[in-house]
Amino acid sequence: MIDFVQNTVDGIMFGSSYALLAIGFTIVFGVMRRINLAFGATIMLGAYAGTWLHVHYQVHVLVVVLTTVVCTVLVGIYVERLCFHAVRRDAALASMVSSFVVWMQLEEVAIHLLPERTYSFPSLIVAGSFELGPFLLRGEQITMLVLAAVMVGALHLLLHRTRYGLALRAISESPRAAAYMGIDAAWVMLCAFALVSLVGAVAGYAILATDEQITPFFGLWATFKGLIAMMLGGMGSLPGAILGGLLLGVVEAHAQWYLGNEYKDLSAYVLLFAMLVLRPGGLLGQRILGREELAFRRV
Amino acid sequence: MDDYVVTVLSNIGMISFIALSAYLLLITGEISFGQQAYFGLSAYAAGAATSMFGLPIWAAVLIGACTAGLMAMAVGALTLRLSGLYFSISTLAFAEMMRLILLIVEVQVEVDGEMVGPDGANGFHDIRWMFERDISLTEFMLFIYGLLALVLIALLLVERSRLGSVFRMLGSDDLLTEMQGLNTVRYRILAAGMAGAIAGIGGALYAHFTTYVEPQFFNVMLGVHALAYGLIGGLGTAFGPLVGVAIDIGFLEAVRFIQGYRMIVFGGLVAVLLIFMPRGILDEERVHRLKALFSRGNHARAERH
């Protein structure tokens, strides 16, 4: 029983980082009805730029944080221009494939930047672990949980209390009606990309600082965890992304504990596949509309 | 021909199967990131057939293709409700699931005093059919291209037939297809099964060509490349994906100075191509025009009558 509770708690801690990654996917999907597969690689390249400065010039940690965030946003804008803005509006899948190949591109750039397999990643704060009754809590993970809660709160305010948030929600509701209201969709989308890159960079930094290392597999990892978490919760839903992230974290933690290490990732994919087969809309997602479904089919 | 050229040509041939497999689903309107699952499954099944049970190669290819095809039909039936992005992600999930399961599978039997069979994360060693039968690389390459030609001819015949029209109709509008009184469920499962079997043939050949397979080879990158080949080469004809494979492996492998920057070049190429030609170089329109060009003489004669 103690194991079960401890695993669940660990799962929620890990899950909060998945939730932060899922937010990046869900906002882009909500606004554009497209999936940005290069999201993880975008964060990775940004973090690699920060690590590069750290490795070669031993700069202060704050500079690393700043470089990571700024570079991630710049790369995010590059991805948006190349894979989303330039690709025809009715070609959602072309965008997805395009973002996939750009992912490969970004990954190779990152590997050219820092060719070794792993690099240590500087942590902003040093938090120890402490015990609460029979349970062990890690400081970094609590930081992550708090960070996730703060960012979700901030995003919620941004979406529901500002003019920009209104424009963003209007586009996600109906792009055509939003255009009639004089909303510049291209600009809102570019800003949305910059915004999710920012969220992603912060999430990515927190995750990497917890791991204390960075490898070229981070892009793949971040993309898949975020994507799975979003699909579990329901595409385009902010609460869904959080719920999906936490669910994924908890399921993985239990699978790892009770079945073994090799079952951790497997459980995530089994969960995703089962969810798609049984309830494609995710836990909180709307049912897939026939109209949208058709729009997705074009290559 | 030296061994290097033969190996590159053989790789082009084997990868063409998985490119054709992804292409077949693309013309029915579905993007699959997961055809490598069937390629890998068949590589294991066919490898087991020759190395563990001593079956001949044709039986191994048949077993591999059938296993992959049946599995693809089962997955197709499960994911029938899904389309577009949802379908793509489900194929990705299935393929990764398959790869991680293959990492766990350990089934070994003793053959001639040695343990042979899938060995979890260590992969599947000693599929020595080629050495045991003393088959040269060139002979095996001819075998690959023979099968590729058969598959290509079959696909071209399908495209000319009613089945091909139904597939393309499914791709452009499934509601319309249903209104024609066609059973879209049956055609979607059929397309999935055919695509799985084609990828399976490639996988079976791959296992015997390399004598060693590991789950790591069947990762998402293989699937994405397979998909990209169709999108680069064009969705208008079955030659499209082959053009894509030739451009990637043939051209980029040949040009030395791209080495190490290959994904940067390839990624950029595909991304730009998708902006200007969302359906590839040989898309339906160009194929149509090319056909008209070649048959102009016939048309002129027909019009005179």
Percent of chain A with pLDDT over 90: 28
Bigger pLDDT: B234 or A294?
Answer: B234
Using CB atoms, pick whichever of A108, A220, A296 lies closest to residue B83.
Answer: A296
**Range(s) of the domain holding residue A233:** 2-127+136-297
Using CB atoms, pick whichever of B97, B270, B278 lies closest to residue A299.
Answer: B278
Rounded Cα distance between B59 and B56, Å, is 5
pLDDT, one tens digit per residue, over A189-232 is 899 999 999 999 998 998 888 888 898 889 989 998 999 998 88
pLDDT category at B299 given cuts 50, 70, 90 is: low
pLDDT category at A120 given cuts 50, 70, 90 is: confident
pLDDT at B294: 82
CB-CB neighbors (< 8 A) of A108 in chain B = 261-264, 267
**Average pLDDT over all residues of chain B:** 86
pLDDT category at A290 given cuts 50, 70, 90 is: very low
Residue A221 sits at the chain B interface (C-beta within 8 Å): no
Given a cut of 50, whether residue A298 has pLDDT beyond it is no
| Mutual angle of helices B3-27 and B35-51, in 10-degree steps | 130
- Best A34, A104, A228 member to test B by mutation, with max B CBs in 10 Å, is A104
pLDDT, one tens digit per residue, over B80-103 is 778 777 888 899 899 999 999 988
How many separate domains does chain A show?
A: 1
Given a cut of 90, whether residue B277 has pLDDT beyond it is no
Q: In this predicted structure, which of A16-20, A69-73, B200-204 has the lowest mean pLDDT?
A: A16-20
CA distance A107 to chain B (A): 9
Chain length of chain B: 305
Find the CATH number of the domain harbouring A225.
1.10.3470
**Average pLDDT over all residues of chain A:** 85
pLDDT, one tens digit per residue, over B239-269 is 989 988 888 877 777 666 666 777 788 788 8
8 Å CB contact of B85 and A112: no
In SS3 terms, chain A reads as CHHHHHHHHHHHHHHHHHHHHHHHHHHHHHHHCCCCCCHHHHHHHHHHHHHHHHHHHCCCHHHHHHHHHHHHHHHHHHHHHHHHHCCCCCCHHHHHHHHHHHHHHHHHHHHHHCCCCCEECCCCCCCCEEEECCEEEEHHHHHHHHHHHHHHHHHHHHHHHCHHHHHHHHHHHCHHHHHHCCCCHHHHHHHHHHHHHHHHHHHHHHHHHHHCEECCCHHHHHHHHHHHHHHHHCCCCHHHHHHHHHHHHHHHHHHHHHCCCHHHHHHHHHHHHHHHHHCCCCCCCCCCCHHHHHHHHCC
| Surface-to-core class of residue B257, CB atoms within 10 Å of its CB (0-12 exposed, 13-18 middle, 19+ buried) | exposed
Rounded Cα distance between B90 and A276, Å, is 7
Distances in Å between the Cα of B3 and the Cα atoms of A240, B206, B259 are: 54, 16, 20
Q: Which of B176, B197, B171, B49 is nearest to B109 (CA)?
A: B49
pLDDT, one tens digit per residue, over A248-280 is 999 999 998 888 888 888 899 999 999 888 887
- How much is the average pLDDT of B18-25? 93
pLDDT at A299: 40
CA distance A101 to chain B (A): 5
Using CB atoms, pick whichever of A87, A105, A112 lies closest to residue B274.
Answer: A87
CA distance A38 to chain B (A): 12
CB-CB neighbors (< 8 A) of A101 in chain B = 224, 228, 266-267, 270-271
CA distance A298 to chain B (A): 7
pLDDT category at A126 given cuts 50, 70, 90 is: low
- How much is the average pLDDT of A59-63? 87
- How much is the average pLDDT of A181-194? 90
**ipTM of the assembly?**
0.82
- Best B32, B275, B283, B285 member to test A by mutation, with max A CBs in 10 Å, is B275
Neighbours of A262 (CB within 10 A): 15
pLDDT at A286: 57
Given a cut of 90, whether residue B305 has pLDDT beyond it is no
